[in-house]
Amino acid sequence: MGLREGAMDHPPLSASSAARTLVAVRGFHAFTRTEGVTALDPAQSVKPPSPPRRLPKALPFADIEAILDAAGQAGTALALRDKALLEFLYGTGARISEAVALDVDDVDFADDVVRLFGKGSKERVVPIGSYARDACVRYLTTARPELVRAGSGNPAVFLNARGGRLSRQSAWMVLGKAARRAGLTVDVSPHTLRHSFATHLLDGGADVRVVQELLGHASVTTTQVYTLVTVDRLREVYATAHPRALG
C-alpha cells in the first residue's frame, strides 16, 4: 500500500508529506550502500509524487478597486507614493522586486511604457495604463521631490520617508495597510495584484501569449496556470451566451 493511498495503520499522506518521507528513505538507503551494508539502493529509482498544482489567488476587480481607492486618501507625499505604487503594480503586473528596482529613467510617459528588469536581469518593456500613469505622474511631480530632499538624490521612482529606495518589506506594508483600510479580511500580497492583473486580462479576452510577455515569463507553460483560474468565468459566459446551455 502506497503512502498516498494510506493503510489500516496510517492515514494517506499528502504529496508533500510523502515526498519528505521518500527523501528520508532515500537518504537511509544511500547511507547503507555507502557504508557497504547493502549492495543495492532499492529507493534510488522511486520518484516522489508530484505536488498538487496551486492556482494563483486573484481578487475580484471590486476588491482591487477598493484597495486602490483606499490608498492615497491622506494626500501626503507618502500617501501619494502608496497610491502610485499600488496602481503601478496592478496596472503593469510587475513583480514587487521590479517595482522597487524601478528608476526614474525607466519610465517613459511620452509612450506610456516602463522598462522592467525581471529574473536574471531580463529586460522587458510593458505599457502602463492611464490610471497608473496618472497616479505616478502626480506622485513624481508633487510628492517625490519632497522625499528626494530628505535623502541624497536616489534615482529610484519609489522612495521611503528618508529619501532612499523603498524596500520590498515596506511595499508589502503599504499594500497591507490599504487592504485593511478597504475592509478586506483575506491575506493580500503584492503577488496577489500580479495574479489579479493576469487573471483579469485573460477574463477580458487577452491571449495567453500576450499575458506571458507582459508578465515576463520565460515559458508560456508558466502563464497557462492562470487559464485554470478563469474556468468559472468561461462557464459563466457559456451559460449566459449559448442558446442550448441551460435546459
Catalytic residues: 95, 119, 191, 194, 217, 226
Quote the cell numbers at residue 101. 528596482
CB atoms within 10 A of CB 106: 18
Helix (H) or strand (E) holding 117: strand 113-117
- By C-alpha distance, which of 189, 155, 158 is closest to 172? 189
- How far apart (Å, rounded) are the C-alpha atoms in residues 211 and 199? 9
Ramachandran bin of 6, using left for φ above 0, alpha for ψ from -120 to 50, beta for the remaining angles = left
First vs last C-alpha separation in the chain: 45
Quote the cell numbers at residue 21. 518521507
Is the dihedral angle over the CA atoms 73, 76, 82, 84 positive or is it negative? positive
Ramachandran bin of 173, using left for φ above 0, alpha for ψ from -120 to 50, beta for the remaining angles = alpha
- How far apart (Å, rounded) are the C-alpha atoms in residues 173 and 168? 9
Q: Which residues face 114 on adjacent strands?
A: 107, 126
